[in-house]
Amino acid sequence: MTPTHGLLCGGQRRSLGRGSPGAVPPQPPQHRDQAVAVTPTPVPPRLSAVPRSPLRCLCTPRRPHGSDTPGRSPSPAMAGPPGLKPLVAVGQVTSTPDKELNFTACAGLVREAAGRGAAIVFLPEGFDYIGRDAAQTLSLAEGLDGDLMGRYADLARDCGVWLSLGGFHERGRDWPTTQRIYNCHALLDPAGRLVAAYRKTHLCDVELEGRVTMKESGFTNPGTEILAPVSTPAGKLGLSICYDLRFPEISLALRRAGAEILTYPSAFTVPTGSAHWEVLLRARAIESQCYVVAAAQSGKNHESRTSYGHSLVVDPWGAVVAQCREGPGLCYAEIDLDYLHRVRREIPVQDHRRPDLYGTVAAAGLAPAP
């Protein structure tokens, strides 16, 4: 029996058999301060040539770590134990206007994930803070060369992991003249270097009568480019942020440029999240045949803001393979690129497109992958 792509929970790396649908792996050990449940979900219709048993991982809040928790050297996160596929950790937090409190919470998640062998740790939009209003949001913003990003660079070095920091409130070079910020997805490597900085191109201006009003364009500049996918130990990473999820063009452009993992760090509201979050993420995974990783804000950020949560990972077949419970915590998944390429071979949608009928979705400056 060959192992399927792994589902990780509670820090135990497991090889799940490609046996009968609905087979349940052995339960991970229960800790006094961390209860973990692994339950099967119904198997969606699938090709007989892809005999997988999708499972959902529900991870409860993390085990507390002290500030003296030791970091790890870069080599385990980069290479991992022999025979295991790259492990990703997806964080879920409840950011507030208190930047120091937020950093402490995020650093604890990163250290825990690093200790469990994660190669990349994903944090959500607004991981640095979520302000009560536009004025506070602008006053708390920093540049990418500021103190906070420097602390995250130190954290990446100490733990030997890649960090996907989605939705950093960035004061760009034009701050002195515009007094507006960018919503920036920063990617750090295990040496703490800034490898990529994607600035959100689709700004969230929505008004749900009597429920939600958001006007991101009132204080944020839109980004002007889509970045080429970045090579990481887990695969080629395509960067997006939250509201970008509603625009399939960006995911298709990234797929054409070679992306294997799409990221959507987010802070969905409860009304939009409960209706659209999972279905949109699964749609992006299915149509692009990529893994989708979505770290999310969860819970009450301040007196007038509550976030939906449900951080998750979707595989290229569209199955949710890892998901967080309510509140701060982590979920884990292995990235199986052999499986990804098998899905693409057996349903070669990229080869079946008809640009003669409807054109090609491509981003300026991004060359198609060979």
Distance CA 37, CA 206 (A): 36
Distance CA 322, CA 115 (A): 19
Distance CA 93, CA 109 (A): 9
| Residue at token pair 């040496």 | 191
Is the CB of residue 58 less than 8 Å from the CB of residue 41?
Answer: no
The whole-angstrom distance between residue 65's C-alpha and the CA centroid of its chain comes to 22
Per-residue pLDDT tens digits for 76-89: 444 445 678 999 99
Written as one letter, the residue type at 344 is: R
Written as one letter, the residue type at 239 is: L
For residue 82, the model assigns a pLDDT of: 60
320-335 burial, b for 16+ CB within 10 Å, e for fewer? bbbbbbeebbbbbbbb
What phi and psi, each to the nearest 5 degrees, are found at residue 299?
90, -165
**Tens-digit pLDDT profile for the chain (370 aa)?**
333 333 433 333 433 333 333 333 333 333 333 333 333 444 444 333 343 434 444 454 433 333 333 333 333 444 445 678 999 999 999 999 999 999 999 999 999 999 999 999 999 999 999 999 999 999 999 999 999 999 999 999 999 999 999 899 999 999 999 999 999 999 999 999 999 999 999 998 788 877 877 888 899 999 999 999 999 999 999 999 999 999 999 999 999 999 999 999 999 999 999 999 999 999 999 999 999 999 999 999 999 889 999 999 999 999 999 999 889 999 999 999 999 999 999 999 999 999 999 999 888 888 898 8
For residue 209, the model assigns a pLDDT of: 79
* Residues with catalytic function: 125, 200, 242
For residue 221, the model assigns a pLDDT of: 95
Instruction: Determine whether 180 is exposed, middle or buried from the number of CB atoms within 10 Å of its CB (0-12, 13-18, 19+).
Output: middle
CA-based end-to-end distance of the chain: 33
Distance CA 239, CA 243 (A): 12
Is the CB of residue 285 less than 8 Å from the CB of residue 315?
Answer: yes
For residue 92, the model assigns a pLDDT of: 98
CA angle 281, 85, 195 (to 5 degrees): 65
- Paired with 121 in beta bridges are 89, 163
